[in-house]
Amino acid sequence: NLPPIAQSNAEKDTPKEAEPEPMTSPQRYGDHGNLTDVRFVNDDKEVVTVSIEGGVNVRRWNVASKQLLSEIKLASDEHGRDVRQGTLQLSADGRNVVAATNDYVGIWDAVSGDLQQKFAIPKKEWEYDCVLCLDISRDGSRMVASLGTTYMSGRVWNGHAIVWDVPSGKEINRVTYQNNFHFVDIDLSSDGKLFATCNEMSARVCIWEADSGKLLLETLQGDDWQSPDPDLIKNNMISDVAFSPDDSLLAMSGTFGIRLVEVRLGKRLRQIDAPYSYHTTTGLEFSADGKRLARNGTGVKGIESSYAVPVFDTESGQMLFALKTEADAIRFSANSKLLAVAGSDRAGALSIWPVTGDVITSLPVATVPPVQFHRIDSVEANTHYRGKIAEDFANRWNPSWGEAQNGIQYGVA
C-alpha cells in the first residue's frame, strides 16, 4: 500500500508499450510435460504453469512472444518428497503453488519457490490419512481438502473434508458424509464461504457452508438423469463440480453431460447432453464473464480425434466448438478471449487457443502448429534434448559413449 510515485517528464514522454496483436490461431509453448495447472497473469500477457518433472517446476511464459521468462523448482524440506497426484495447482492470481504431500498441505511462493505455509493432515487409520483433492478460494481466505486413505485402493465408505483458514493456518472444521464414498472433486466459491463436493460412485453432489460445515444442498444425479446415448455410455459417473465466477451457478459434470444448478435456490437451470465414455484428467472451467464453460479432454462424438475440449454456451447450453486436443487442465484468460490448455504431450504440453468470434460449426478446428523449443540448459529427470541443444549438452557433460548400433549411440554422463 505504498503511495503513488510522481512521474518524471521523461516517463510521461515515453511511449506506451504497443498492444500485442490478437491471437488468431492456436500456439504452443516449449517442450515440457506433466503439466497440472496453468494461470493467466499480468493482464493476460503472461502465463504461469506448474508441472512435475524430477520435482515440481514453475514456469512463466510471455504469451505474445512465447518466450520462457523464468523457470524454478519448489524448495522441499525433504529430498525427494513427492506431491500427491491430483493436488498440485496454482492460486487464482498465479502467485502461489498449492499441493499436498503425504505429510502436509503446503503453499509455496511461485517466484522464489520457498515454502510459505504448512497445513497438517489429520490421521485416522482406515478412515483417512491423506489428501485426495483440494481447492483454495479465489480470494485466498479458505482452503478445503477431501480426506481419503492410502489403504484399500483409496476407497472409503464415508466422504470426509477438512476446511482451513489460510491466513492463520488454523483448521476450522471437518465434515463427514455418511455412507457415500469419498469425495472425488471439491470446489470452493470465490469468497470461500461455500464448497461443493461430488461422489463418483453414488452420483451425489452437495453444497456445504465452509465455516459451519452445514449441508445446504444434497442432490442425487442418477435417478432422473437418463443417458442421451445408451449405445455410448449407460452409467453416469459424476466426476467434477465448479462454481461460476460470481458463485451464482454450480456446474456438475458426468459421463452423461453437464448440469447447471442455481446455488441460492438449488434449482436446476439447464442440462447439457454431452456424453463421453473416456477422458484424460477431468475438470470444468468457466470463462471469467461466466458465458462459457469448457470441459477437460474427453471423447466427443463426431470428432475424429482421441480427445477434445468442448466449449459450451452457459445460456443456451449449445456446444459452440471443440478444441481437438488432449487436456489435463484448462484455464480461460481474464478477458475470456483465450483458453490455455495444459496436457501431457512431451512435444509441447502447453497450448493457448483463441476462443472468440462466431459459433464454430465445422469440426475439428485448425491443427496446432509445430512446437518451438525454448528449454533453458538444465539437468533433470525425464527430459528429452533435441538437435543443437542435445549436442551442446553432450559436449558440456562429457558422456561415456557406448558403441553405435543401427545408427544409435548411447551415452551416460
What digits encode the pLDDT tens for the residues 160-214? Answer: 999 999 999 999 999 999 877 789 999 999 999 999 999 877 788 999 999 999 9
> For residue 365, what pLDDT is reported?
40
What digits encode the pLDDT tens for the residues 71-87? Answer: 999 987 776 678 998 89
Q: How confident is the prediction for the chain on average, in pLDDT?
A: 82
C-alpha distances out from residue 160 to 62, 83, 149, 153, 173, Å: 40, 20, 10, 16, 11
269 versus 371: the higher-pLDDT residue is 269
Q: Which of 113-127, 168-182, 312-326, 387-401 is least confident?
A: 387-401
The answer, yes or no, to whether residue 65 has pLDDT greater than 50, is yes
Q: Write the burial class of residue 227 (CB in 10 Å: 0-12 exposed, 13-18 middle, 19+ buried).
A: middle
142 versus 389: the higher-pLDDT residue is 142
> For residue 359, what pLDDT is reported?
43
C-alpha cell at 213: 460445515
How far is Cα 326 from Cα 329, in angstroms, rounded to an integer? 9
C-alpha cell at 298: 474427453
Q: What percent of the chain has a predicted confidence (pLDDT) above 70?
A: 81
Confidence of residue 357 (pLDDT cuts 50, 70, 90): low
How far is Cα 206 from Cα 231, in angstroms, rounded to an integer? 29
119 versus 156: the higher-pLDDT residue is 119
393 versus 18: the higher-pLDDT residue is 393
C-alpha cell at 219: 442432490
Q: What percent of the chain has a predicted confidence (pLDDT) above 90?
A: 43
Say how far residue 139 (Cα) sits from the centre of its chain.
17
Q: Is residue 326 within 8 Å of residue 309, measured between CB atoms?
A: no
Q: Is residue 24 within 8 Å of residue 13, measured between CB atoms?
A: no
> For residue 49, what pLDDT is reported?
94
> For residue 121, what pLDDT is reported?
93
What digits encode the pLDDT tens for the residues 43-61? Answer: 999 999 998 877 899 999 9
Confidence of residue 386 (pLDDT cuts 50, 70, 90): low
Q: Is the dihedral of CA 122, 126, 127, 131 positive or negative?
A: positive
The answer, yes or no, to whether residue 344 has pLDDT greater than 60, is no
Q: What is the mean pLDDT of residues 244-268?
A: 92
Confidence of residue 69 (pLDDT cuts 50, 70, 90): very high
Q: What is the DSSP letter of 16?
A: P
What digits encode the pLDDT tens for the residues 238-251? Answer: 889 999 999 999 99
Q: Is residue 171 within 8 Å of residue 162, measured between CB atoms?
A: yes
> For residue 53, what pLDDT is reported?
79
Q: Write the burial class of residue 397 (CB in 10 Å: 0-12 exposed, 13-18 middle, 19+ buried).
A: exposed
Q: What is the DSSP letter of 279?
A: B
Q: Is 30 left (phi over 0), alpha (psi -120 to 50) or beta?
A: left
> For residue 10, what pLDDT is reported?
46
Strands of 263-362 (E only): list them.
268-273, 284-286, 292-295, 309-313, 319-323, 329-332, 338-342, 350-354
